[in-house]
């Protein structure tokens, strides 16, 4: 997906060479069609005519990075703190 994010935009469909993308992405060429199909099904990219693609503009297209809330450190019993 990282390489496709470089090649594609949300505005226009782009014709891509699946073999070249597979090589750069480290995906077997024979698996590229299935990989693109999964990305389309997941809502990450949109397929156009003749195999052209563009990035999806939906919330599912956002990176799935979740920032964790800082958690307080657990309390250390007084006996353990004295031994340290």
- Note the pLDDT of residue 70: 63
Q: What is the largest CA-CA distance in the chain?
A: 71
Average pLDDT over residues 68-80: 63
Q: How far apart are the C-alpha atoms of 40 and 29, rounded to whole Å? A: 18
Q: Going from the N-terminus, what domains does the chain have, and what CATH number goes with each?
A: 2-61 (1.10.10)
Residue with tokens 């997941």: 42
- Please write the tens of the pLDDT for every residue from 10-61: 888 888 888 888 888 888 888 888 888 888 898 888 888 888 888 888 655 4
Token pair, residue 1, equals 């997906």
- Note the pLDDT of residue 36: 86
- Note the pLDDT of residue 79: 66
E-state strands within 1-84? 45-47, 53-55
Band (81; pLDDT cuts 50, 70, 90)? low
- Note the pLDDT of residue 21: 83
């Amino acid at each position: 997906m990282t390489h496709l994010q470089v090649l594609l935009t949300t505005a226009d469909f782009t014709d891509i060479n699946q073999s070249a993308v597979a090589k750069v992405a480290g995906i077997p060429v024979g698996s590229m069609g299935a990989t693109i199909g999964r990305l389309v099904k997941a809502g990450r990219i949109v397929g156009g005519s003749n195999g052209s693609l563009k990035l999806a503009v939906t919330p599912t297209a956002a990176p799935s990075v979740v920032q964790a809330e800082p958690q307080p450190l657990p309390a250390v019993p007084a006996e353990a703190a004295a031994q340290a």
